[in-house]
Amino acid sequence: MKKARIIFAVLLLGCAACVHSPPSYRGGGTNLDPVTYTSYQCPNLSGRYEGVGVLVDGDPTAKQAATKRRMSDVFPYRDATQGQAVLDASRASDGRYMAPTFAQVKMDGRLARIFLHFPDGKSIEFASSFEDKTKFVCTGESGLVSWGGESAEGRSEFGPNRSDSFVALRLDSEGNLLLERRMQVHMSLRLGGIPTGTAKYFAIYRFKRLP
């Protein structure tokens, strides 16, 4: 049972905003209010980074089962088709999926172009946009860009649940790229919809800047 819960938590944390962001980013609680930051610029995340990031902080589940993150899972995709194209490019001749060896990020305002290079010599480029200010919040040149919000309701073996997520990108003092992911799953019983608690997950990954 414990192993099943760990796998479930990793899937939730890993899939939060992994293809595209929710329709809107709702402020409130500890989330940033998009209205407050509509005139702020995004941080310039341009640079060359290692293709795999390492966990620098996280909840017990992340520390046990999600200690690394691929650069191909960092920037939001426009849609599922774009995400599938990147996944196909990462597939090796033996069917395995490769992590990028390094990534080049070029930002221009709220637009980012990501170049991924794989061990077998293949590469792919895709565009990631933060232009929709109802989805993406930028807090200034030295700040972060974040997205998230409420997700669709789901069900577990015990009853219905709903979740909200927060994803943020920023640079640390040494110019490394930091990816922060947080998720809350609000659970309730099948009968009566009585709340049974909230499970909280978080993970912060560092992608080292390369010369």
CA angle, 65 as apex, 62 and 69 as ends, to 5°? 70
Inform me whether the pLDDT recorded for 123 exceeds 60. Answer: yes
Residue 21 has pLDDT above 60, yes or no: no
Q: Is the pLDDT of residue 22 over 60?
A: no
Distances from the Cα of 211 to the Cαs of 103, 114, 119, 156, 208, in angstroms? Answer: 12, 17, 18, 46, 10
- Percent residues over pLDDT 70 in the chain: 73
Q: What is the mean pLDDT of the chain?
A: 82
Give the model's confidence band at 29: pLDDT under 50 very low, under 70 low, under 90 confident, else very high: very low
Range of the domain at 161: 2-210
Q: Give the pLDDT confidence of 129-178 residue by residue, as tens digits.
A: 999 998 899 999 999 999 987 665 665 656 667 677 789 999 999 999 99
Which pLDDT score, from 0 to 100, does residue 98 have?
97
Distances (CA, A) of 8 to 14, 61, 110: 10, 10, 33
Total domains, the chain: 1
How far apart are alpha carbons 40 and 48 in whole angstroms? 25
Distance, in Å, from the CA atom of 99 to the CA atom of 84, rounded to the nearest integer, reads 15
pLDDT digits (tens, 9 = 90+) for 179-209: 999 887 756 666 656 666 677 788 999 999 9
Mean pLDDT over residues 24-35, rounded? Answer: 56
Of the candidates 105, 67, 74, 82, which has an alpha carbon nearest to the alpha carbon of residue 168? 74
